[in-house]
Amino acid sequence: MEDKLNVTYITLGGHVELQKYQYLYFVVMFTLYILIICCNSTIVCLIVIHKNLHEPMYIFIAALLINSILYTTTIFPKLLTDFLSETQVITYQACLLFQVFAYYTLAFSEFLLLAAMAYDRYLSICKPLQYPTIMTKKTVSVLLILAWLVSACELALAITLNANIKLCNLTLKGIFCNNSVYKIQCVSSVALSIYGVFILLNLALLPMLFILFTYTRILIICYRSSKTVRNKAAQTCLPHLLVLINFSCFITYDIVIVRLESDIPKIPRFIMTLQIILYHPLFNPIIYGLKMKEISEHLRRLLFQVKSH
């Protein structure tokens, strides 16, 4: 029974001087968590409330921001609890299901949502006459469902295959369960490694290549078009590209660098991990709130109303 418990529970050993700074960590991270929820929710509410924002482009942005809220919520409640706890432990089952599965499902959904947004911009700018007949409400709904369903199904199979693998180490070097969970398994499965590469190619690399292809086509069309078309493209496409570049950098760190975690000092690894879960969810609402003209106008009106009251 004791051996079973030892195998079931794992320790999250990536915290830095937690006993010394636990209350500071908690207050800072709780404040940032509330800020992430409020910023993302505000933009989503603006899109829902205002009818002129009920267009595919803004619906995809709302979905992306909802994804950011869910992405953050898979990590923060447990992290905040750990800051105030004497021990930072989690069951292996909860680690796989509530963090690894949810974290990577939402992370890869982000790429698929960005690919859907790129497709929407491509149709709008390069095929404006066909846009209304192709990008219907049904098409938008199908793209949104697939963005979450495809990644969830592929990750579910990976989690199922990992659930019964024996563990030889009960301490993760991170502050939450992610890719590093493979480091505590006794044997590295070749089949699982191949399937992991398949998921990475299918849910990250292919959407990224599709996005780059569509934006290349958009740039070519804009180069040949009028200044008005170029301005429209810059206004709507630049935020998506910035979000893609930002998120790709952090996912690259998570997928590649975590595999080499033994070579990374504890403090830099801790700082980089915090950036992964903080920077991107805060970056999305700021970039869309400031760079998307229609959203920024509604946001300014909202802030003006709040100040006047």
Q: What domain count does the chain have?
A: 1
Q: Which stretch, 204-208, 232-236, 241-245, 280-284, has highest mean pLDDT? A: 204-208
pLDDT digits (tens, 9 = 90+) for 17-37: 888 899 999 999 999 999 999
Query: Can you give the pLDDT at residue 302?
Result: 77
Q: How many Å apart are CA 292 and CA 297, to the nearest integer?
A: 9
3-state secondary structure of 130: coil
Instruction: State pTM to two decimals.
Output: 0.88
Residue/partner pairs of 80-83 with CB below 8 Å, 24 or more apart: 80/26, 80/29, 80/30, 80/33, 82/12, 82/15, 82/18, 82/175, 83/18, 83/22, 83/23, 83/25, 83/26, 83/29
The SS3 assignment for 89 reads strand
Beta bridge partners of 89: 11
Q: What is the CATH number of the domain that holds 291?
A: 1.20.1070.10
Query: CB neighbours (10 Å) of residue 257?
Result: 15
pLDDT at 1 over 50: no
Q: Which domain holds residue 93?
A: 2-308
